[in-house]
Structure 1
C-alpha cells in the first residue's frame, strides 16, 4: 500500500496553560479586562477558541487565574512593608511609594491590575478583582487597628482611595515622578492623621 498521500499526524500539543496565563496577564494589564476579547487571547496564545474554552472555560475564569498568578508574583508585598517594627505612618508611606513605583511601569502595563479590574463591566471579573482588593484593604485595616484601632477605618479608606487614584493617574499617563509626588503629599497627611508613636 502506498503511503505517499497519507497526511502526517498533527504535532503534539505544546500549549502550556501556565505560560498562557502569563500572556493573558500581560494583555489584561496593558489593555484592561474589558478591552481584551477572547479572540485577542487566542491570537496571542496561538490557539483556537475550542482549545481556549477547554483550557479556561471562560474569559472571566481565565482572569481569575491571572489574579491568582498576580498575587504570587506581581502584587505589592504587604507583609514585607506593613511590619510591626516601624511606625504605622512610615509603613503606609512606604506602601504608597511602592504603589507609585509599580503602577508607573514603563512596559506599557501601568496601573494596578486588580484596582482596574474592580471597574470591569463583567460582573464575574469585577467580583474576582473586588475580592482581591477587599483582602488587601483588610490587611491594611488590621495592621493599623493593631496600634490605632480608633483610626483604622478612616486611615484605611484614605490609603485605599489614594492607591486607586495613583492607579488611575498611572493609566492616564502620569509619570513616576508625578505619582511619587502625590504619594509623598498623601504620606504627609497620614503623618498628621496618625498619632505619633515610638518604634515598637
Structure 2
C-alpha cells in the first residue's frame, strides 16, 4: 500500500487524521500512467490510497472525476506549458524546448512511458476517460496555438499541428520502448524544421 496520504494528528489532540487530496492525485497519476484508466479498478485505487470507497466518493465524486483531476495535475506538473511558452520568448526556441522536454519526460520512467494525456486520448472510442483526455489535450494544443499566434498568426495552425503530431509520435515511440537518446534526436530533428515552418 502507498502511504503518506494522511498526516497524523499530534499526540493527545484526539483529532482524526487528515486526508491529503494532492498526494492521492499523485498516487492515482502513477497508477493510471502505468496501467491505463481501465486497468485500474476502484478497489485497487482505494487500496493504494489507503481509504474506503465511501471516503473516495466523498472526496472525489467518482473514478472518472478523480481521473479528470489527475489529468489536470499531470498537465500542470509534467511539461508545464506556462513555464515553457513564456510571452516574449522566441517561438522556435520555446517549441524546441517543449519537444526536448517531451522526449526526456516520456522516456524518464520505463514503467510509465509516454504521455498520460495523449495515451489516454487514444483510448476506447467514446469512453469517458478518452473524452476527458482529449479535452485536456485540446486545451494544451490551444495554449500552443495562442503562443504561436502572438507572433506568427498565419502559421499558428500548421505549426501547432506539427508540434502536436511530433509529441504524439514521441509518446507512442516511448511506449514502444524507444530510448531517451533516440527520442531526443527525433525531437532535435523536428525542432530544426520549426525554423522553416515559422518563416
* 1:114 alignment partner in structure 2: 117
* Kept in 2: contact 1:115–1:167 (CA 8 A): yes
Please, which runs of 5 or more residues in structure 2 have no aligned partner? Answer: 1-14
Q: TM-score, normalised by structure 1?
A: 0.81
Asked if residue 131 in structure 1 is aligned to residue 109 in structure 2, the reply is no
- In structure 2, the CA distance between the partners of 1:189 and 1:39, relative to structure 1 (3 Å rule), is same
CA RMSD of aligned residues (A): 2.2
Q: Of the two structures, which has the highest relative contact order with CA contacts closer than 8 Å and spacing of 6 or more? A: 1
The number of equivalent residue pairs is 184
Detail structure 1 runs of 4+ shifted over 4 Å in the superposition: 11-15
* 1:185 alignment partner in structure 2: 189
Counting only pairs closer than 5 Å after superposition, residues 1-200 of structure 1 correspond to structure 2 as 12=16, 15-72=19-76, 74-106=77-109, 108-121=111-124, 123-195=127-199
Task: State the shift of 1:85 in Å.
Answer: 3.7
Structure 2 CA distance, aligned partners of 1:78 and 1:17? Answer: 23
- In structure 2, the CA distance between the partners of 1:194 and 1:16, relative to structure 1 (3 Å rule), is closer
Structure 2 CA distance, aligned partners of 1:165 and 1:130? Answer: 16
* Kept in 2: contact 1:82–1:91 (CA 8 A): yes
- In structure 2, the CA distance between the partners of 1:61 and 1:83, relative to structure 1 (3 Å rule), is closer
Structure 2 CA distance, aligned partners of 1:85 and 1:57? Answer: 41
